[in-house]
Structure 1
């Protein structure tokens, strides 16, 4: 099939005959006289078929349409004659539609027969490539149309490199366009101008995965907080994957996995789930982990990933006291551990997993278990009655009922205490997750800032303030490493690489590098739990970024002391009052 994307010019003596074999048609020439006449067809006979351009309105391009209205279609329309006789427009969709709109009965054409030896997918890739290329040289395709065409080519088997080379576009841009093109939601958002291509690609990625919750969260997010919300979602999804990974051994053991923690309402007499701590066997013995492992099919488990790392046995996952490990064997693996200690290769550090077990109430009988408070007589001791007759007390004064009620109240209080502790742990975990998302977003902003050739105007005052107020800043542990990462440098030779850059860089770029060293040091201080404290250096750092246009989020505002961390909505942190999150405009 032809790859020619230039406007063809035909021999004026050629007689238009759509039924004639295309091989008898002359090749295009550069003769000026040939533009006077050429083969023509009624545009109504042409089939537009698939085209990368989906959106075209005549009124949006008056220079093109008015020319066709006045002079007709001048440039031949490239047509492929299919084996079934259809005349399919390969290049000239806009000209064909415009001619039809103005009721023109003739348009110049250049007809080529379809090559049946070409694979169908390759033929489609060739069509899309040609249509994108030639349209880029005329009325530009919309971003949405272009993205859809690229997605189609990738779906047909073209590689990213192949498409990038054909369209003379960067591979990263092809990847991004491929994501957008595969998502109707993202393409519509691009057409409406609500999101830039980078944001639309993020939405498309989740939309293509069927993650409607992520799409809805991103579309609800304030535009200035879009990157932060996207990073929060990424951290949430990573946590979900970690949860499922941690849950896998429990599921393999036969336990059911809870994906939501039972709320306080479950600790009632009618609750469908009962926590293991409230159950006993027929002998009154409390249920322990060995009982659960022996009968896993009855139980459901809720897992909580702790904030701390713990040492566990590699083979069993059982917790290990680090004092029982001979750590010298880590550097000398061939040596035997000291007496009474274990080898370092037998243990590894993992995230702490806290497990809480629940039994469905309707499984009590089948499991042979009972709730702790079973009968009044079980709750009464000899000290509760003069006669020691527990039945008598229950019959005469109802003391057994009162004691049972007291036991239930105590159990409820204990359940509420556990719930409060769990909620407190969850709050810390969620705020730390927000801190991680804020850090990721902040690093993205600073990395883009440090790619500049010149520093921002506000940098001089900031640098002077920082180096005077915190004279040891650049010597802090990992401060330099943090700066190198912000500059996109890593590895053992990064310091030498930076020195080489300085030796050839212009003064303004050297000032940017100095700024990177200071920002890297401060970023090293601003960890995920920055909301807990108000470090003076971190405050200076955050305030500087805000003057440059970085949108501070609630955990960062808490670090500044502008809001109380207790007031942050851990489920919807960006739903903070406008007055507390109002940001000054970038200078």
Structure 2
């Protein structure tokens, strides 16, 4: 079929196998699975730009990927816009190819989710949409979920968040403050976004656990304290520093429901919440205050905390929380990194450095087996036996990956909140190595890595 437009320009449907692809400014023409699937489903929709030589051969000037994909997909004909040109004007060819590639604007995530939503309203399932558009089913499902939420959709269309970032916000739908904070991080410091998300998750778990215990204590008639008292020698007195008439420690169970009981609910690593009991007037219950110099926070505080001490403690708590969140993100990233087919180019140098400069950190993992290494390799650590050796036997071509997992896992399992409080050269080297591989260190990890603040590497 031929559609004539002018005496020298026609739109023709031609077998892609007969087309001649010209030299192109695009030096590579990757045919990703999604693109190929879309060509298989609907063919080539936009005509190729080509010209015909004196022998009848049709040369493709613009559309080499579409041509190659059509051949790969077994398409019998493709639309071709044949113009009056030739192979003598190289400059014209290059200019046209540059314009054709440079001025092509890719669809945004906002465009995609709205289009997928429209297809869903037309009765198409996520599977059908994925098949017909050459997109993965999971990505379409994510996009449709985002489209259902005004908050997540606005984050993409107005905030400029990626589809994956907006999908994460769905976890916090209804929590306006957290959504606003994460949106700001995503737009101003995207490298910190994974840690900010993990921290928000852990904070939510801790907050819910704290609220649950507070409700239980309030039901007993106890007064709930918003802050932990910093002066242990004035009311309310912590029960831990009280004594009975027999000079015995006070059992918290004996004061439950009594008048003047106050409770501060503290949260700990893993989201555990515990009640700390205080009494406004111990003497009313026949109790006395244990008078010991230096009794208090850290064993040295004898009076109320100063503003400077409060600020230091606030920073300590904030950095601990950030470290906990970063630990989860870092280990997940490392597991994904080691799941790649190819080991990092400097793997041998890293292994040598770990076995020498960081040998004390990895010794425990080498002698007793590293549970963290199993996690990094995707091995079920609940199984018994030498799973790492069994994994290596089953995957001999991943010997370098296994070695890295054991060595780096040994270092990783010996990290803790104390890592940032007292940085060491070996752990700092480890964190800088991860950074060199593409991992983004958060501020508290930069402290542990002995790197200056806000330094762009």
Residue 160 of structure 2: SS of its match in structure 1?
coil
Output the CA distance in 2 between the equivalents of 1:145 and 1:300. Answer: 53
Q: Contact conserved, 2:195 with 2:329, CA < 8 A, in 1?
A: yes
**TM-score using structure 2 length:** 0.56
Output the CA distance in 1 between the equivalents of 2:374 and 2:171. Answer: 30
Residue 42 of structure 1 corresponds to which residue in structure 2? none
Residue 143 of structure 2: SS of its match in structure 1?
helix
| 1:276 and 2:236 are equivalent in the alignment | yes
Give the C-alpha shift of residue 261 in structure 1.
2.7
| 1:252 and 2:219 are equivalent in the alignment | yes
| 1:184 and 2:150 are equivalent in the alignment | yes
Give the C-alpha shift of residue 237 in structure 1.
1.1
Give the C-alpha shift of residue 225 in structure 1.
0.8
Give the C-alpha shift of residue 501 in structure 1.
4.7
Q: Contact conserved, 2:146 with 2:166, CA < 8 A, in 1?
A: yes
Residue 442 of structure 1 corresponds to which residue in structure 2? 330
Consecutive unaligned residues of structure 1, counting only runs of 5 or more, are: 1-61, 65-138, 267-273, 279-287, 310-349, 360-367, 369-412, 564-579
Residue 195 of structure 2: SS of its match in structure 1?
helix
Q: CA 1:140 to 1:252, structure 2 compared with 1: closer, same or farther past 3 Å? A: closer
- 1:451 aligns with one of 312, 319, 339: 339
Aligned residues: 316
Residue 242 of structure 1: SS of its match in structure 2?
helix
Alignment of 1:206-245 (within 5 A): 206=172, 208=173, 210-221=174-185, 222-245=189-212
Q: Contact conserved, 1:431 with 1:555, CA < 8 A, in 2?
A: yes
Deviations 1:72-100 (A, max 9, x none): xxxxxxxxxxxxxxxxxxxxxxxxxxxxx
**TM-score using structure 1 length:** 0.45
Q: Contact conserved, 1:150 with 1:163, CA < 8 A, in 2?
A: no
- 1:429 aligns with one of 288, 296, 317: 317
Give the aligned CA root-mean-square deviation in angstroms.
4.6
Give the C-alpha shift of residue 420 in structure 1.
7.3
Deviations 1:364-413 (A, max 9, x none): xxxx9xxxxxxxxxxxxxxxxxxxxxxxxxxxxxxxxxxxxxxxxxxxx9
Q: CA 1:418 to 1:184, structure 2 compared with 1: closer, same or farther past 3 Å? A: same
Residue 266 of structure 2 corresponds to which residue in structure 1? 304
Residue 456 of structure 2 corresponds to which residue in structure 1? 583
Q: CA 1:184 to 1:152, structure 2 compared with 1: closer, same or farther past 3 Å? A: farther
Deviations 1:28-76 (A, max 9, x none): xxxxxxxxxxxxxxxxxxxxxxxxxxxxxxxxxx969xxxxxxxxxxxx
Q: CA 1:150 to 1:304, structure 2 compared with 1: closer, same or farther past 3 Å? A: farther
Residue 525 of structure 1: SS of its match in structure 2?
coil
Give the C-alpha shift of residue 544 in structure 1.
0.2
Output the CA distance in 2 between the equivalents of 1:146 and 1:492. Answer: 45
Residue 525 of structure 1 corresponds to which residue in structure 2? 414
Q: CA 1:491 to 1:523, structure 2 compared with 1: closer, same or farther past 3 Å? A: closer
Alignment of 1:427-576 (within 5 A): 427-471=315-359, 474-477=362-365, 480-493=370-383, 498-499=388-389, 501-503=391-393, 505=395, 507=397, 509-562=398-451
Alignment of 1:47-66 (within 5 A): none
Q: CA 1:163 to 1:463, structure 2 compared with 1: closer, same or farther past 3 Å? A: same
Q: CA 1:487 to 1:415, structure 2 compared with 1: closer, same or farther past 3 Å? A: same
Residue 305 of structure 1: SS of its match in structure 2?
strand
Output the CA distance in 1 between the equivalents of 2:237 and 2:159. Answer: 56
Output the CA distance in 2 between the equivalents of 1:220 and 1:501. Answer: 42
Q: Contact conserved, 1:243 with 1:303, CA < 8 A, in 2?
A: yes
Q: CA 1:187 to 1:306, structure 2 compared with 1: closer, same or farther past 3 Å? A: closer
Residue 370 of structure 2: SS of its match in structure 1?
helix
Residue 529 of structure 1: SS of its match in structure 2?
helix
Answer 1 or 2: higher relative contact order, Cα 8 Å, separation at least 6: 2
Which structure has the larger Rg?
Answer: 1
Output the CA distance in 1 between the equivalents of 2:118 and 2:325. Answer: 34
Output the CA distance in 2 between the equivalents of 1:488 and 1:192. Answer: 38
Output the CA distance in 1 between the equivalents of 2:136 and 2:277. Answer: 48
Give the C-alpha shift of residue 471 in structure 1.
4.1
Give the C-alpha shift of residue 487 in structure 1.
1.6
Q: CA 1:466 to 1:294, structure 2 compared with 1: closer, same or farther past 3 Å? A: closer
Give the C-alpha shift of residue 444 in structure 1.
2.2
Alignment of 1:18-417 (within 5 A): 142-145=111-114, 148=117, 163-164=126-127, 167=130, 172-173=138-139, 176-191=142-157, 194-206=160-172, 208=173, 210-221=174-185, 222-258=189-225, 260-261=226-227, 275-277=235-237, 293-295=257-259, 301-305=263-267, 352-356=274-278, 416-417=304-305
Residue 305 of structure 2: SS of its match in structure 1?
helix
